[in-house]
Amino acid sequence: MSVVIREGREKSLLRRHPWVFSGAIQSFPEGEAGVRKVVASTGRFLAWGWFDEQSHIPLRLLSWDEDCKPDYDWWRLMVRQSVQRRSSFFVPDSPTNTFRIIHGEADFLPGVAADVYARSIRVIISSRPAYENRNAIVDELQSLLNPQSIVLNTDPAFCGIEKLKEVTEVYPDGADAGETIVRESSIQYSVNLLGGQKSGFFCDQRENRNRFERYVKNQTVLDLCCYSGAFSLHALRGGARFVDSVDASKDALESLKKNLSLNPDLDASRLRTEKADMFEYLRSMPRNKYSVIVLDPPKLAKTSKGLEEAKKGYKDLNRVAMEKIQDGGILVTCSCSGALTREDFRTVISWAAKDAKVEAQILETLGQAEDHPIRLAFPESEYLKVFILRVLK
């Protein structure tokens, strides 16, 4: 039995967008979730997909080749091709040995994110088809890369809607999979593969942090939502006069301190940490203290349903930062909410500038690093938006 698409609703499938929602589905076979042929109302083949009536995305398209039904070998092939596309990152003694090797639907693997951390790999699973085929994913990664360990987690944010258990699996069984030391742009970090936010380290900001260094020499810097301190450490390396690193998580600040100790060439005396809520810190801090502010909050819009509330949050953050920053100061503002488009984020920032009664110039428009590719057929894969602004009063 096939999944049949309603007449007139085939366009997104023909454009190879991988998500199909219930409104586009005319009929479907009863039974367990799994791989199904997807056809138009005329019976014409459109794709192979994973159908799960219980999922928030009932149909995820996998292959548009009728002769290539996705199976164990197909999943291994997709993993292998994704890793091979990052071959330029696998350089001995490279200044960077942490990077993404699978970026979900952008690499044709729905609900799979995989990052290299030196000799280890962490895999985050956020969909039922990825979970059911996790053995193929792990087998291919072990065969290709022979890592010291692979840590596989289900993403707690998606376990409920995907009917998944929160699990952590370590391969091979009994492997040492705790703390590992990695390098990014020659700065060292300690990463806990069995804990931490999401994948443990946000390598999607790698090139943005390198660009950021050019703006900080002799400046007073606020790194808000600093997490493990990557922007803060780049600020020190770039010659900042001092850096205030603020996060609501005590564990994140302890991680920052540990990372600072791993880099003795950076002047730790020029960095101060504070545990605080980002909104409260901004509202209470004095005006004109900082000449550079980094706003890199966690995802404020987890789904499109929370988008309007998230826009209010982004506007409030940016408005207060613009009011408090020095005249001519540099604001680095980020959004990792996939539901918020780049155009909408730019509009929100313009509203913030208007309400703050300032002028703002966009100096650079940035996004995720190249190991997090954006698939043209899947615009949702462009999730990270970064603007570097000059604020004029």
Same-domain status, 210 and 167: no
pLDDT at 177 over 70: yes
Residues 275-315 have pLDDT tens digits of 999 999 999 999 999 999 999 998 887 667 788 888 999 99
* Res 302: pLDDT: 67
CATH number at residue 166: 3.30.750.80
Residues 233-245 have pLDDT tens digits of 999 999 999 999 9
C-alpha distance from residue 122 to each of 54, 113, 137, 352 (Å)? 27, 8, 12, 37
Strand partners, 273: 245
Residues 36-62 have pLDDT tens digits of 999 999 999 999 999 999 898 999 999
**What is the average pLDDT across 214-242?**
97
Domain that holds residue 53: 3-63
**What is the average pLDDT across 125-133?**
96
Nearest to 183 by CA among 204, 163, 206: 206
Window from 109-113, 334-338, 363-367 with minimum mean pLDDT? 334-338
Query: What pTM was computed for the model?
Result: 0.93
Same-domain status, 321 and 213: yes
**What is the average pLDDT across 259-285?**
96
Nearest to 111 by CA among 85, 142, 84, 132: 132
Q: How far apart are CA 66 and CA 142, in angstroms?
A: 29
Structural domains in the chain (count) = 3
Same-domain status, 80 and 58: no
Same-domain status, 175 and 232: no
Residues 66-77 have pLDDT tens digits of 999 999 999 999
Of the chain, the percentage scoring pLDDT greater than 70 comes to 98
Of the chain, the percentage scoring pLDDT greater than 90 comes to 87
